A and B are shown apart, each in its own frame.
Chain A
Amino acid sequence: MELWENGDPIRDEAAPDGPIETRWERRRFSAKLVNPANRRKLSVIVVGTGLAGGSAAATLAEAGYRVRSYCYQDSPRRAHSIAAQGGINAAKNYRNDGDSVYRLFYDTVKGGDFRARESNVYRLAEVSVNIIDQCVAQGVPFAREYGGLLDNRSFGGTQVSRTFYARGQTGQQLLLGAYQAMERQIAAGNIEMHARHEMLELIVVDGRARGIVVRDLVTGEITTDLADAVVLASGGYGNVFFLSTNAKGCNVTATWRAHRKGALFANPCYTQIHPTCIPESGTHQSKLTLMSESLRNDGRVWVPLSASDKRPPGDIPEDERDYYLERIYPSFGNLVPRDIASRAAKNVCDEGRGVGPGGLGVYLDFADAIERLGVKAVEAKYGNLFEMYQRITGEDPYQVPMRIYPAVHYTMGGLWVDYDLQSTIPGLFVIGEANFSDHGANRLGASALMQGLADGYFVLPNTINNYLAGGPFGDISDRPEVASALSSVESRVQKLLDVDGDRTVDSFHRELGHIMWEYCGMERTEEGLTKAIGLIRGLRDEFWTRVKVPGTGEQLNQNLEKAGRVADFFELAELMCIDALHRAESAGGHFRAESQTPDGEALRHDDEFSYVAAWAFSAEGRPTLHKEDLDFEYVHPSTRSYK
């Protein structure tokens, strides 16, 4: 039986055409406005309080809409965006080093391996400059130079310095800025905040997204919340792999529920795997920790030349080491993009040359840097990262080389949205990592923070007016769709509790993660993906007969929360494999072993696959593929080469 069906192509109807420099301006002009007096009559639900959701909620509330926000943590300030370290890009050209909106646009389209929309990316680059202004006005303490002006660094191998940062805590500082703006609106009565609440269903009435079903994670109470529009800003789904750099609670539930209600899910297989993470230390491992990419500026990556060499790193002489990145990519060396560095690490480990427990690790060695710059200088640059490494591993990176290994980090795929960030369900908007919009097949470093804030502060608050101008959409509290959404959630929760089997939720999640990492991770093959789909289906059936969720639904029950998320991950995992299987090319974060150049590099097939794969849900497990063709008027697809 075919795993999927082919459906009609789709188009982004909201996208303006004409010169790319004026598209955003023209869209803003053509969008309908809402009279300020009417805004108080319109309510918007925002699910998520990360950079995207936090900035959107604050801005919509400032505009006068009645906003209700949700997050599963105990405070909006703890959304996963808090963990971002490196920085945020903006085309300010403060360095006068040749940067411009156009260059950022160009780099992002190219970095995304020509699988993103030009219009969206151009707009992202355009509003990037406003983000920095906004954040500085809010008091975000970006790093500054002695003259008092903002400092910039170059990040992820770009040739211009356009990354703004706040030590290694950029995400934290940006999020606190958005959080504080939100708290101000909460105090003003414009936002109603519901922390420790999880969205478990989308309510669609008359074809419009009109509300959500939420569970109060403290009391277990399940209720509905109805509004004129729903915004999902619920982040990425990297946790389908169990081990990832995402926070433990990151999940796909909000977007998956919307997908089941009709929203298309785009490019689910595009996953970013970050090369510099601390390797697993044992079966107890619950998550992986990212080490900033900046380490590759001075650290040298190597493994022993011979697979049988089990000596401690210090005993391996220089000529028996393989500095494989420098060898294979002489011009970029240790600074090749993330996907390339990750796959190279996997390859040497597959050859049996990996180091550390289980042979899953490569060395990142600072001995040369220490000799060249001195311990002091290395400490000044990387001291806090070294400390973090030592805290976790118990090893001193000044003495022994660090061990690193790739880990799942970011998901480029997400709900399909048009230029207005509206999904295929009218009234359902999707922003931040939860949508698929701007990064194509691979995201550049420091661009996710930029996208989240661009969506939340500047794009959505403009485009949503066009939709809300048609509202208020009337009272729907008596409609059967509302009651049935509520009861479907209640029965799903009950079903999870009723299985009462003999395996824990985590054990299923771990096993699912293994399958995904093995077959839908850094390298994918037709055979592996087909096998994975079978394994996932089997495991999912087992889940519904053997899972054990202790406790009741009427209290704080963290295992019940996890169980619901894992149940949705099973369904998503299958779609990811199907998407990966159908895309018989290599692009960005998706590497198909069948599609590579003779020397092992990713090989795109622009003639066949230059489209966005947007999937429609099917209850029978046979999703329908809708293709949105990508046109490149400005940046012409070329082969990424880092040799």
Chain B
Amino acid sequence: MTKAPVRKPVPATRSTVSLKLLMAVTGLLLVAFLFAHMTGNLKLFVGPENFDHYAHWLRTLGTPLLPETWYLWIQRAGLTVALIGHIAAATILARRARKARPVRYAHRPKVQGSYAARTMRWGGVIVLLFVIYHILDLTTGTVNPAGGDSEPSARVIADFAPGRWYVTLFYTLAIVAVGLHLRHGIFSAVRTLGQRSPRGERRARQAALVLSLVLVIGYLSVPFAVLTGLVG
């Protein structure tokens, strides 16, 4: 009898389910960060000074227990580890999935399930590219027109100046990608962590939709406010 190709035994810590658990935990950590980050961003609406003050406060967070900026570095390290864990797991699982279907269907209707669920991987890659750019842009200032020594609010405002519409466009695309990623991702994470009632499923899906909408609107409000001159 023909035999299916048998892979090596996979230890429980690297099983598909364990890797998914890792993705869910790291993903939710990143989501929590995104919300905190968004709250900070929205301070721009209160006024550039308020925003800059917040940016400074971040650097002093944890003092005097910790020396200055230590907390921020710990958080960055934590987020980076989470992101790397998340991406590593995603990559391993994506490769396993590809191997699991070596021959594609000749006839495949575009999408039967949710569109968001089908775009997790590509959406994730777009988000990653954006994150890298975003750090170089607003954290280190390397690629920011206002330069690395400027105040944070100045960098933001310089970034989304009407002349640099392409930056805003890329930013928008990336945020929408994050939104789509999380529209499925938040539900998926809850399910991966063991959610199992039909009512809970409806709630988790609704929550995922609402939370990702809030994130998208929250994040997009800043560049559009700059673009339209509401802030600046």
Q: Interface on A for B, CB 8 Å cutoff? A: 195-196, 216, 218-219
Contact = CB atoms under 8 A, between A and B. Distances in A.
* Chain A interface, >50% SS class: loop
Nearest to B2: A218
6 contacts: A195-B1, A196-B1, A216-B1, A218-B1, A218-B2, A219-B1
Interface string B1-24: 110000000000000000000000
Interface residues of B, number: 2
Interface in B1-52: 1-2
A196 B2 CA distance: 11
Contacts of A196: 1
B135 to A, nearest CB: 51
Contacts of B2: 218
Binding site of B, secondary structure by majority: helix, strand, loop or mixed? loop
Interface pairs A-B: 5 shortest CB-CB: A218-B1, A196-B1, A218-B2, A216-B1, A219-B1
A308 to B, nearest CB: 51
Contacts of A216: 1
A218 B2 CA distance: 8
Nearest to A194: B1
A90 to B, nearest CB: 34
B58 to A, nearest CB: 56
A197 to B, nearest CB: 9
Contacts of B1: 195-196, 216, 218-219
B4 to A, nearest CB: 12
B3 to A, nearest CB: 11
B21 to A, nearest CB: 26
A216 B2 CA distance: 11
A196 B1 CA distance: 8
B6 to A, nearest CB: 15
A94 to B, nearest CB: 32
A218 B1 CA distance: 6
Nearest to A221: B1
Contacts of A195: 1
A498 B2 CA distance: 28
Contacts of A219: 1
A279 B179 CA distance: 55
A195 B1 CA distance: 9
A216 B1 CA distance: 8
A427 B1 CA distance: 29
Interface string B84-95: 000000000000
Interface in B165-202: none
Nearest to B1: A218
Nearest to A197: B1
A219 B2 CA distance: 9
A480 B2 CA distance: 32
A487 to B, nearest CB: 24
Nearest to A217: B1
Nearest to A195: B1
A225 to B, nearest CB: 15
A195 B3 CA distance: 12
Contacts of A218: 1-2
B9 to A, nearest CB: 14
A17 B1 CA distance: 49
A555 to B, nearest CB: 12
A75 to B, nearest CB: 12
Interface in B39-88: none
A18 B92 CA distance: 71
B1 to A, nearest CB: 5
Nearest to A216: B1
A219 B1 CA distance: 7
B42 to A, nearest CB: 53
Interface string B130-171: 000000000000000000000000000000000000000000
B172 to A, nearest CB: 48
A69 to B, nearest CB: 14
A218 B3 CA distance: 11
B130 to A, nearest CB: 48
A214 to B, nearest CB: 12
